Amino acid sequence: MTVNRSSEGRRRRVPRKEREQQIIDVAVRVFAKRGYHAASVDEIAELAGISKPMVYLYLDSKEGLFLACLSREADRLVAAFQGAARAGGAAPELRLHAGLSAFFAFVAEHRDSWVVLHRQASELSETIAAAVADARRAVMAQVAGLVWDGITESGGGSPPAQLSHEDADFVAHALVGAADSLTDWMGSHPDQSPEGVTLRLMNMVWVGMGRVLEGEVWVPARE
């Protein structure tokens, strides 16, 4: 009996998790290119090499598909930041530098992912906005922890009297907000490397915080 090997190969079942990742890979590109509302499940299915009903079978709905894209890319971003920060060194500023550098590198290398996470998700449903907020809180907690470590270490193991956890949280929000905005700046300045952007941001924020830790406080001059 002759076996048609090529037909046998075409009929090979792809494991569910592998197939889902293939669909998400394609969906991220399509959502980034066309936007959520203009993106077509038909196009995603065609590019993924499966039928439209199969997309719904795996991901339930168009919103479910977008949420799957959002969840995976957010997890990748948080993991990149956390992994780099853990390996960045003993000093908190070195860990923060490594984490921010990994963040900007992720944005530069995965532009479609960042378009989905940053530019589109906030304009969609409450469910999607909540997923974005969860991802943002995960990064914020990492940054705030590193800032607090820096404040504590500067005081010889205890924080200076003039600074609190609220100050660390304030600096973390300022850093993450600046990082978000700088991703757009990077898009219009492709000659700027992720490392260069990280160093500029660290110098603006960390050096400034160091001066505050030394007791320097700016107040507007009274005329």
Q: Return the residue matching tokens 């079978």.
A: 57
- The pLDDT value recorded for residue 210 is 78
The pLDDT tens digits of the residues spanning 57-98 come to 999 999 999 999 988 998 898 899 989 988 988 888 888 899
Q: How far does CA 118 lie from the centroid of its chain? A: 8
**What was the pLDDT predicted at 147?**
84
The residues of the chain scoring below 70 in pLDDT are: 1-12, 121-123, 154-162, 223
CA–CA separation, 159 vs 157, rounded Å?
A: 7
Q: Which CATH number fits domain 5-213: 1.10.357.10, 3.90.1150.10, 1.20.1250.20, 3.40.30.10?
A: 1.10.357.10
pLDDT at 9: 46
Name the DSSP class of 220: P
Domain map (residue ranges) of the chain: 5-213
Tokens 């390996």 sit at which residue?
A: 87
Q: How many CA atoms lie within 13 A of 213 on its CB side?
A: 20
**Positive or negative CA dihedral for 86, 25, 138, 180?**
positive
Please list, residue by residue across 171-195, b when 16 or more beta carbons sit within 10 angstroms of its beta carbon and e when fewer do: bbebbbeebbebbeebeeeeeeebe
- Per-residue pLDDT, 101: 94
Which amino acid is it at 111? R
